[in-house]
């Protein structure tokens, strides 16, 4: 049996097709302004017998394709404990929220916390900071590890933090000292 798992996130959509416990196909795309249309495009031609959907837009497939759904929290718990049986903590930095999930020794969710009130601490924040410093999101982490000093920015707001970083660059700070700025409490 071939099962397709699809995660319809706020920024991206990922599809994985599994057969006999092995991932046989993966696809990824942007969620765009019509995530259902984008999800259907990614699923087109991917041979599968059933679908399991998760993520921000999971209910779109529940209605459109009668797909089974599961919350991201549960999906992370099941997958992480399958791949890494000793795992007890999962951090998800998503496009529009961040989650910290605590698991027990059986891989079940004990507790989770979510930041979904502002972009600070989300993938969108990281994308904006990378762009403000002239890096792609793929380069950002590697470049951050090369930073020679920490600089503080005081704003927790993504828009204000971007403005602060732009000001630091305009003031002459080397962008290679900025990729991993410390946000002061």
Say which range, 1-10, 72-81, 137-146, has the weakest mean pLDDT. Answer: 137-146
Q: What is the C-alpha to C-alpha distance for residues 136 and 44, in angstroms, rounded to an integer?
A: 29
Q: Of how many residues is the chain composed?
A: 185
Q: What is the C-alpha to C-alpha distance for residues 101 and 7, in angstroms, rounded to an integer?
A: 18
User: Could you give the domains of the chain?
Assistant: 2-69 (3.30.420.40), 72-115 (no CATH), 123-183 (3.30.420.40)
Identify the pLDDT of residue 183.
47
Q: Taking 70 as the threshold, does the pLDDT of residue 56 lie above it?
A: yes
User: What integer is the mean pLDDT of 158-178?
Assistant: 70
Identify the pLDDT of residue 136.
92
Any alpha helices (H) in the chain, and if so which ranges?
35-43, 58-65, 72-83, 123-132, 137-145, 158-170
Higher pLDDT, 96 or 18: 18
Angle separating helix axes 137-145 and 123-132, nearest 10 degrees: 80
Residue 9 is encoded by which pair of tokens?
């996130």
Identify the pLDDT of residue 155.
65
Task: Collect all residues with Cβ–Cβ distance below 8 Å to 84 and sequence separation of at least 6.
Answer: none
Q: State pLDDT tens for residues 142-158.
A: 888 888 877 777 666 77
Dihedral of the CA atoms 104, 53, 43, 15 (nearest 10)?
A: -20
Query: Does pTM top 0.95 for this prediction?
Result: no
Q: What is the C-alpha to C-alpha distance for residues 122 and 26, in angstroms, rounded to an integer?
A: 24
User: What integer is the mean pLDDT of 159-178?
Assistant: 70
120: confidence class by pLDDT, cuts 50, 70, 90: confident
101: confidence class by pLDDT, cuts 50, 70, 90: very high
Q: Taking 80 as the threshold, does the pLDDT of residue 28 lie above it?
A: yes
Residue 22 is encoded by which pair of tokens?
């092995």
Identify the pLDDT of residue 185.
41
Instruction: Please state, as a whole number, how many other Cβ atoms lie within 10 Å of the Cβ of residue 141.
Output: 13
Q: Taking 90 as the threshold, does the pLDDT of residue 68 lie above it?
A: yes
């Amino acid at each position: 049996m071939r099962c397709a798992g699809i995660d319809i996130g706020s920024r991206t959509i990922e599809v994985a097709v599994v057969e006999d416990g092995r991932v046989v196909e993966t696809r990824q795309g942007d969620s765009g302004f019509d995530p259902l249309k984008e999800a259907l495009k990614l699923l087109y031609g991917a041979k599968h017998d059933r679908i399991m959907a998760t993520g921000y837009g999971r209910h779109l497939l529940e209605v459109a394709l009668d797909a089974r759904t599961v919350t991201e929290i549960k999906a992370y718990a099941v997958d992480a404990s399958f791949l890494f049986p000793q795992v007890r903590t999962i951090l998800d930095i998503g496009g529009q929220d961040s989650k910290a999930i605590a698991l027990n020794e059986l891989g079940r969710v004990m507790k989770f916390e979510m930041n979904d009130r502002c972009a600070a601490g989300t993938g969108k924040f990281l994308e904006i900071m990378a762009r403000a410093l002239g890096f792609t999101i793929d380069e950002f982490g590697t470049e951050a590890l090369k930073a020679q000093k920490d600089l503080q920015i005081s704003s927790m707001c993504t828009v204000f933090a971007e403005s602060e970083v732009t000001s630091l660059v305009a003031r002459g700070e080397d962008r290679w000292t900025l990729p991993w700025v410390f946000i002061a409490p």
